[in-house]
Amino acid sequence: MTHLTADLREMVEEQIRYRELLYQMTRRDLLLRYKQTVMGFGWAIFMPLINTVVFSVIFTRVAPIDVGMPYPLFAFCGLLAWNFSASSFRFALTSLTSNTNLVTKVYFPREIFPATSVLVSLVDFAVGSTVLVGLMVYYGVRPSASLAALPLVVLVHLMFTMSVCLLLSMANLFYRDVKYLFDVLLTVWMFGTAVLYPIANMGPRMAAVLQWNPLTPIIDGYRAVLIRGTFPEPTLFLTASLTSAALLAISWLVFHRAEFQFAENV
């Protein structure tokens, strides 16, 4: 137990001591993206927008479905939230292996790498949100009191994404083919999450299983508090919150205890 508390204290202390590094690393990645690509932050808006158009055509013309709100709003909100997690995961996967130089030569808490991936994606998420606000205005959605629950949804979303990022970056450092495996898994995961259609549309039996995927109540949570003007479905959202918090605690601890093997294994 003393071991655990010592570890926890060290984890927290290091985050405080190195908080400026987290900021600098995030700034580095954003600067690089801005310098290396023509569109810069434009990608953050462009990608979900194109996808929204495509899926709007599919799900309103080809195979119309009822989602209880204008479909483009449903899809864009889902894609934006999903993309935040998905791009965090993708960056985090290679965050340790592509910084071999730093991992083997300089010491600082390695959590910085996956955390940077999350923060960079969070900036994209924020940029893309402006379009969501525009769409909400266009469709005449009025914010209601449920908006107060938005920070909670974001917090749970962050915790869950961060914990998966910690595990992924570590896994890919020890086993390099995790990256390829996860690429496939990510596509499957997206279609098993309520990104483009309500999970109920997949049939009752599958829905009963897939509703426990924490990302489904999180993404539905955004739609509830922003568009429907209701609070998230309590049972599922509470389960997702507790799962995320527990997963974050466990994955962080595992990461912290494994990080001294990183330099030898990268």
Partner 1 sequence: MGEHPIVFDAVWKKFRRGERHDSLRDLVPSLVQRLTRRGHADELRGEQEFWALKDVSFTVPRGEALGIIGPNGAGKSTALKLLTRILRPTRGACHVNGRVGALIEVAAGFHPDLTGRENVYLQGAIMGMKQREIAARLDEIVDFSGVAPFIDTPVKRYSSGMQARLGFSIAAHLNPDVLFVDEVLSVGDISFQAKCLERMRQNVRAGVTLVFVSHNLQAVSALCRRALVLGKGQLLFDGPTEEALDIYMAAAQNASARYGTQDPQFRLLSAQLTSGAREDAADVITPHARCRLVCEIECLKPANGFAVGIELERTRDLLYCYGVTTEELGESLWSAAAGERIVVTVDFAAHLARGHYRLNLHVRDPRAGAFLFFAESVANFSVEEPRSYDGVVEIEPRISLRRVEQPYVDLDSVTVA
In the complex, minimum distance from the CB of residue 213 to partner 1, in angstroms, rounded to a whole number: 23
In the complex, minimum distance from the CB of residue 104 to partner 1, in angstroms, rounded to a whole number: 7
The reply on whether position 5 binds partner 1 by CB under 8 A is no
182 in Cβ contact with 109 (< 8 Å): no
The reply on whether position 260 binds partner 1 by CB under 8 A is yes
Judged by CB, which is closer to partner 1: 179, or 228? 179
Contacts 24+ apart (CB under 8 A), 146-149: 146/224, 146/225, 146/228, 146/229, 146/230, 146/231, 147/225, 147/226, 149/221, 149/225, 149/231, 149/232
The reply on whether position 17 binds partner 1 by CB under 8 A is yes
The reply on whether position 20 binds partner 1 by CB under 8 A is yes
The reply on whether position 9 binds partner 1 by CB under 8 A is no
Tokens of 135: 């769409």
In the complex, minimum distance from the CB of residue 91 to partner 1, in angstroms, rounded to a whole number: 15
The span of 2-10, 27-35, 86-94, 237-245 binding partner 1 (CB under 8 A) equals: 27-35
The reply on whether position 183 binds partner 1 by CB under 8 A is no
Judged by CB, which is closer to partner 1: 46, or 180? 180
The span of 12-20, 120-128, 137-145, 230-238 binding partner 1 (CB under 8 A) equals: 12-20
Judged by CB, which is closer to partner 1: 29, or 124? 29
3-state secondary structure 218-256: HHHHHHHHHHHCCCCCHHHHHHHHHHHHHHHHHHHHHHH
Residues present in the chain in total: 266
The reply on whether position 25 binds partner 1 by CB under 8 A is yes
* b (16+ CB within 10 A) / e for 132-161: beebbeeeebeeeebeebeeebbebbbbbb
Sign of the alpha-carbon torsion through 164, 200, 232, 147:
positive
The reply on whether position 139 binds partner 1 by CB under 8 A is no
**Contact with partner 1 (CB under 8 A) among 23, 46, 138, 139:** 23
| x-or-dash string of contact with partner 1, 34-73, rule CB under 8 A | -xx-------------------------------------
**Contact with partner 1 (CB under 8 A) among 4, 63, 177, 188:** 177
- H/E segment holding residue 29: helix 19-36
Residue located via tokens 């479909």: 71
99 in Cβ contact with 169 (< 8 Å): no
The reply on whether position 104 binds partner 1 by CB under 8 A is yes
170 in Cβ contact with 261 (< 8 Å): no
What is d(CA 75, CA 53) in angstroms, rounded to the nearest whole number?
A: 9
Judged by the rule CB under 8 A, the positions of this chain that interact with partner 1 are: 17-18, 20-21, 23-25, 27-28, 31-32, 35-36, 101-102, 104-108, 174-178, 181, 260, 263-265
